[in-house]
Amino acid sequence: MPFLLDGNRTRDEILAECRPRIDAFRAQHNRAPGLSVVLAGNNSASEVYVRNKTKTAGSLGMQGETILLPESVTTKELLALVQRLNSDPAVDGILVQLPLPPQVDAPKIVLAVAPQKDVDGFQPINVGLLSIGRPGLRPCTPAGIIELLKRNGIPIAGQNAVVVGRSNLVGKPMAMLLLHEDATVTVCHSRSRDLAAVTQTADILVAAIGRTAIITAEHIRPGAVVIDVGMNTVTDRAEAERLFTPERLAIFDRRGSLLTGDVHPLDMARLASAYTPVPGGVGPLTIALLMRNTMEAAERRMAAGA
């Protein structure tokens, strides 16, 4: 039987480790670490993510705030807000929820966030620090995956790791973090030739390409560890029949939709030695690492006299 990599359990472990640090910070500095989350527009998925982030921050004793901006917000207005948060001594972490409305210059906004408050790990200075292995705030999802592997006793050093997807948010930082853990890393993408031949070499296979169940049995070496980063909604019943067990299909029929990842769930469960389910695998780790990043940002700022 394959081993299920439970993201909820790892999330709870990381959050439990944050609590005493938050208490110690409050006792020493007479305030809680502060996280400001900026949400522009009316993206329903983003609203759910932001609500979960601020709710988790509050449950840990952090000072979390959500700043809601209209769909019509301009780049200039958002830049002014980011600069205000950069200069606010009570704000330790700034997260600008992506995607932004189309008229906003998103790269300019990301660049404007102070690196020491960039708890998403997307600011170019933090990306550069990651690339050369220097301390800095790491992107939450890839950092969470490394935690998941380590805490479940899965070796990384010396393993062949294949990352499918080259996004700035997951694929590229995932590859760099695996390299820093001494894995031999290959990155594949939409232009890669004979994808299955490459992914079949993986001891650790990370799928982060954003396409429903694109990774199937032909891509998975038996015994590989499979990390499915995808989060896709299936609404077509014929597709659901192809992807889900009868038990899950019954749930699909009641709800009209189900979430699945970038890896075929039945093939993954049959071939992998360990794998992340969707949902309940990688997803919970992102918020946990966001909380840890906020805590680390607060500690570093205070240590630097900020």
Amino acid letter at 161?
A
- From the candidates 92, 116, 117, 120, which is the catalytic residue? 120
- From the candidates 63, 92, 97, 262, which is the catalytic residue? 97
Active-site annotation holds for 97 = yes
Q: Where are the domains of the chain?
A: 29-114, 140-283
Was domain 29-114 assigned CATH 3.40.50.10860?
yes
Which phi and psi (to 5°) does residue 161 adopt?
-115, 135
Q: Which pLDDT score, from 0 to 100, does residue 306 have?
A: 65
Active-site annotation holds for 103 = no
* CA distances from residue 35 to 60, 61, 167, 210 in whole angstroms, order as listed: 12, 11, 25, 28
Was domain 140-283 assigned CATH 3.40.50.720?
yes
Closest CA to 22 of 14, 12, 32, 13: 32
Active-site annotation holds for 76 = no
Question: Hey, do 29-114 and 140-283 end up sharing a CATH topology, with the first three levels equal?
Answer: yes
**Which helix (H) or strand (E) is 115 found in, with range?**
none
Which tens digit of pLDDT belongs to each residue from 214-263? 999 999 999 999 999 999 999 999 999 999 999 999 999 999 999 999 99
Residue 43 has what DSSP assignment?
A: -
pTM: predicted TM-score of the whole model, two decimal places: 0.94
pLDDT band at 47 (very low <50, low <70, confident <90, very high): confident
